[in-house]
Chains A and B, each alone.
Chain A
Amino acid sequence: MTCTRYENDLALYVEHDLADTDAAAVEAHLRECVTCPPFLAELRASQAWVKDLASEEIDSEALAAMRVRTIVAAARARRSGPPGTVRAWALAASVILALGTAVWVAVVSRTDRTRAVAVSSSPSSSAPRALATPVIAPPVIASGSARSTLPGPAAVSLRMEHAHGRRGRVDRPSVVPALSPDDADQLARAVVAIARIQRVEETAADAEPSPEPTPLMRLATADPDVVIYWPLDPNGGE
C-alpha cells in the first residue's frame, strides 16, 4: 500500500522535478509515512533502468547506413533542384507563367472568334453562292445586287490575294483557320473561273426552292467544273 495521492509527487520528486516547497512537503510526508519510502525506493530502481537506456549504444552499422542514405538522398535532392526558398520561387514563377500563357491564349482565341463571326456575317444574300459558301466573302463582292456587282478584275484580284494568303501565309493569326487545302483549291479555281465567265443566262434552277422563286443567273465559266448561280434581288437591290 502507498499513499495514492503522493504517487505523482514522488514520481517527480525522484528526479528532482518538484519545486522546493513541494519537495519539502513530500520529504515531511516521507518522514511520517511507512509505505511511501519503499515506494520511492522502487521508483528509484525503475528510474535507474529507464535512464540506463541513455547509455545504450546504437549499432554503428545502423548509424552508418542511415548516414550514407541521408547524405546520398540530400545530394540527389541538391542535384534535382535548388533547395528551400529558391525552389519555391521557381515554382511560383512557373505557375504565374502558365497562368499568363493561358490568359493570352484565351484573349487571342476570343479575338479570332469575334473577327471570324464579323467577317462570316458580312456577305449579303445576293452574293454568288459558290463564293458565299466559304467562310469569307470580300466586301466588294458582297455588296449590292447582281446588276451592278458582277465581279470585275479588281474584285478577282482581291479574292486571289485572299485565297493565296490563306494557303501560303501563316505568320499572322488566320481568320479562316478551318479552311482545308481542298477547299482552298476549289475556291481558287472558282476565282479564276469568274475571271473568264463565258456565258450569263437566266435560269430556273431550283437550287433553293421557295414560294416566290428568286431570279437566278447562271454563270458558266471556262472551267467546266465551276458554274456559278447568282441569285438576283427581286427589288433590284433597293
Chain B
Amino acid sequence: MPRISFRRPEASTRDLSLAPADLPDRPVAAEAAEWVRRARAGDPQAFAVLVERHERMVLRTAFRLLGHLDLAQDAAQDAFLRLHRHLGRFDETRELGPWLYRVVVNVCRDVARRGRGARLVALEDAAALPSPHEGAREREDAVTRDEQRRLVQAALLTLPAREREAIVLRDIEGLATDEVARILGSSAGTVRSQVSTARLKIKRYVEAQGGTRR
C-alpha cells in the first residue's frame, strides 16, 4: 500500500513560492496579475502559487461557514477548481481575493443546499443544550481558549446562512462592510443589519453556554 505523506508548510512554501529572481520587483497587484496570466497560459506552477497564496483564507472561510473540516476541504478544492476553470475569463486587473471569497461562499451555499452543511440549531434550542459542566465555578475554570473557540464556532452554526456569511467576512476575515456587501451581492445596509443581529445572537448563545459572563 503506497503511503502518502504531506510536505510540511515550510517545505511547500519553499517549493511553490517564487524565487526572487523569478519575478521582477513589482507591486503586489501586478505580481498577482502576472501569476494569473501565467496560470491562464497553462503554467501549473503558477496555479500552484495562486492556490498556496489563498489556501488559508479559502479553507478558513469554508470551515467557518460549514463547521466541518472535511467539508471545508472539499469546498476549498471546489473553489480553486472553479478558479482554474474560469481563469480564461478572469480579469487579471481585478483582485483575486474578493473573487475567491465570493466563490467559496457560493460553494458553501451549494454544500448546504445538498444537505451536507452545518446542521442548524435554533438559537433557543441551542441555549437549552446542557452545559458540559455542572457548577458555575467549574464551568468558568474549564472554559479554555480552545473551548471558547468551539463555543463561538457552535454559535456561528446556529445562525441563518446569510447572517453567518456576513459576520464571518466582517468580523473574522476583517473585511470592510462595503466589501462584504459586494461579495455577498447585497447592500451595505443589509450587511450591517445582518452583522448586528448575528453579534447579538452570538453574545446570547455564548452567555447561555456559560461563556463571557464571569
Chain A interface residues (CB < 8 Å from chain B): 7-9, 11-12, 14-15, 17, 42-43, 45-47, 49-54, 56, 58-71, 73-75, 77-78, 83-86
Contacts and interface: CB of A to CB of B under 8 A. Distances in A.
B172 A54 contact: yes
B81 A50 contact: no
Give the interface SS of chain A, mostly helix, strand, loop or mixed: helix
Contacts of A53: 64, 149, 152-153, 172
Contacts of B81: 70, 73-74, 77
Interface of B: 6-9, 12, 42, 44, 47-48, 51-52, 55-56, 59-60, 63-64, 69, 73, 76-77, 80-81, 84-89, 145, 148-149, 151-153, 167, 170-174, 177, 192-193, 195-197, 199-200, 202-203, 206-207, 211-213
B171 A83 contact: no
B148 A49 contact: yes
Contacts of A67: 12, 48, 51-52, 55
Contact of A71 (B44, B73, B174): B44
A46 B128 CA distance: 19
A85 B89 CA distance: 7
Contacts of A59: 69
Contact of A63 (B55, B152, B174): B55
A52 B143 CA distance: 14
A68 B200 CA distance: 39
A223 to B, nearest CB: 73
B171 A46 contact: no
A49 to B, nearest CB: 5
B43 to A, nearest CB: 10
A100 B16 CA distance: 47
23 contacts: A11-B199, A17-B195, A46-B207, A47-B199, A49-B152, A50-B152, A51-B171, A52-B148, A52-B149, A60-B9, A62-B59, A63-B56, A65-B73, A66-B73, A66-B77, A67-B51, A69-B77, A71-B51, A77-B85, A78-B42, A83-B85, A84-B86, A85-B88
